[in-house]
Chain A
Amino acid sequence: MNKENVIVVNGLTKSFGDFVAVDHISFEVSKGEIFGFLGANGAGKTTAMRMLCGLSTPTSGKAMVAGFDVFREAEKIKQNIGYMSQKFSLYEDLTIKENIQFYGGIYGLTKKQIQEKTDYLVAHLHLQNHQNSLVKSLPLGWKQKLAFSVAIVHDPAIVFLDEPTGGVDPVTRREFWELIYDASERGITVFVTTHYMDEAEYCHRVSIMVDGRIEALDTPKGLKKTYDSVSMDEVFLKLARKAVRGE
Chain B
Amino acid sequence: MKQFFAFIKKEFFHIWRDKRTLFILLGMPITQIIIFGFALTNEVKNSKMAILDLSKDASSKQLIQKMSIGKYFDATSVLYNYQEVEPIFKKGKIKMVLIIPQQFANDLQHGNQAHIQLICDGSDPNVANTLSTYATAIIKDFQSQLVKEQKLPYRIETDIRMLYNPELKGAYSFVPGVMALILMLTCAMMTSIAIVKEKEMGTMEIILVSPLKPFGVVIAKAIPYMLLSMVNVITILLLSVYVLDVPIRGNLILLLSEGLLFTITSLALGLLISSITDSQQVAMLISLMGLFLPTTVFSGYMFPIENMPIPLQVMSNMVPAKWFYFIVKTIMIKGLGFQYVWKETCILIGMTVVLFGLSIKNFKTRLS
Residues on A facing B (Cβ under 8 Å): 53-57, 75, 78-79, 81, 83-94, 98, 101-108, 134, 151, 160
- Output the residue of A54, A84, A94, A106 with the most chain B CB within 10 A: A106
Q: Does B7 contact A (CB under 8 A)?
A: yes
Residues of B within 8 A of A101 (CB): 6, 9
Q: In the complex, which residue of chain B has the Cβ closest to the Cβ of A86?
A: B202
* Binary CB contact string for chain B from 264 to 288 against chain A (1 if under 8 A, 0 otherwise): 0000000000000000000000000
The residue that B205 contacts in the complex, of A85, A91, A103, A104, with Cβ under 8 A, is A85
Complex contact A83–B10 (CB within 8 A): no
* Cβ contact within 8 Å between B18 and A89: no
Whether the Cβ atoms of A89 and B202 lie closer than 8 Å is: yes
Q: Is A106 within 8 A of B202, CB to CB?
A: no
Q: Considering the chains assembled together, what is the distance between the CA atoms of A203 and B289 in angstroms?
A: 52
- Asked whether B203 is an interface residue with its Cβ less than 8 Å from the other chain, the reply is yes
Q: Given A56-B368, A91-B14, A92-B201 in contact, is the A78-B6 Cβ separation under 8 Å?
A: no
Other A-B pairs beyond A55-B208, A78-B210, A107-B211, 12, CB < 8 Å: A54-B209, A83-B210, A87-B202, A88-B202, A89-B206, A91-B10, A91-B14, A102-B6, A103-B210, A105-B3, A105-B7, A160-B209
Q: Who on chain A is nearest to B198 by CB?
A: A91
* Cα–Cα, bound, A127→B14 (Å): 22
Q: Is residue B315 contacting chain A, with contact meaning CB distance below 8 A?
A: no
Contact between chains at A106 and B203 (CB < 8 Å): no
A94 touches B211 (CB 8 A): no
Instruction: Collect the chain A residues with CB atoms within 8 Å of residue B5's CB.
Output: 105
Q: Is B212 an interface residue (CB 8 A)?
A: yes
Q: Is the interface of B mostly helix, strand, loop or mixed?
A: helix
Residues B1-55 near A (CB distance < 8 A): 2-3, 5-7, 9-10, 13-14, 17-18
Q: What distance in Å separates the Cβ of A64 from its nearest Cβ neighbour in chain B? A: 17
In the complex, B69 has a CB within 8 A of chain A? no
> Please, could you name 7 A-B residue pairs with CB atoms under 8 Å apart, sorted by A?
A84-B206, A89-B206, A102-B9, A104-B6, A105-B9, A106-B7, A108-B2
Contacting residue for A87 out of B2, B13, B14, B201, CB 8 A: B201
Tally of contact residues, B, Cβ under 8 A: 24
The answer to whether A81 touches B209, judged by C-beta atoms less than 8 angstroms apart, is yes
Bound together, the chains give a CA A104 to CA B205 distance in angstroms of 16
Q: Which of B10, B201, B208, B209 has the largest count of A CB atoms less than 10 A from its CB?
A: B209
B163 contacts partner chain A, Cβ-Cβ < 8 Å: no
Who on chain B is nearest to A57 by CB?
A: B368
Are A98 and B13 interface neighbours, CB within 8 A? yes
Complex contacts, B367 vs chain A, CB 8 Å: 55-56
> Does B354 lie at the interface of the complex (its beta carbon under 8 Å from any beta carbon of A)?
no
Q: Are B209 and A83 in contact (CB under 8 A)?
A: yes
Q: What separation, in Å, do the CA atoms of A54 and B13 have in the docked complex?
A: 29
| B243 at the A interface (CB under 8 A) | no
Given the known interface contacts A75-B211, A78-B210, A98-B10, the answer about A85 and B2 at a Cβ–Cβ threshold of 8 Å is no
Most-contacted residue by chain B among A56, A90, A105, A108 (CB, 10 A): A105
B207: interface (CB < 8 Å): yes
**A98 cross-chain contacts in B, Cβ below 8 A:** 10, 13
Tell me the nearest residue of chain A to B209, going by C-beta. Answer: A83
Complex CA distance for A56 and B367, rounded to whole angstroms = 7
A78-B211, A105-B5, A106-B211 known; A87+B18 contact, CB < 8 A: no
**10 interchain residue pairs of minimum CB distance:** A105-B6, A87-B202, A83-B209, A93-B17, A102-B10, A79-B211, A89-B206, A78-B211, A106-B3, A106-B210
- List residues of chain B with CB within 8 A of the CB of A89: 202-203, 205-206
Nearest A residue to B213, CB-CB: A75
What's the least CB distance linking B16 to chain A, in Å?
A: 9
Q: What is the distance, in angstroms, from B69's C-beta to the closest C-beta of chain A?
A: 62
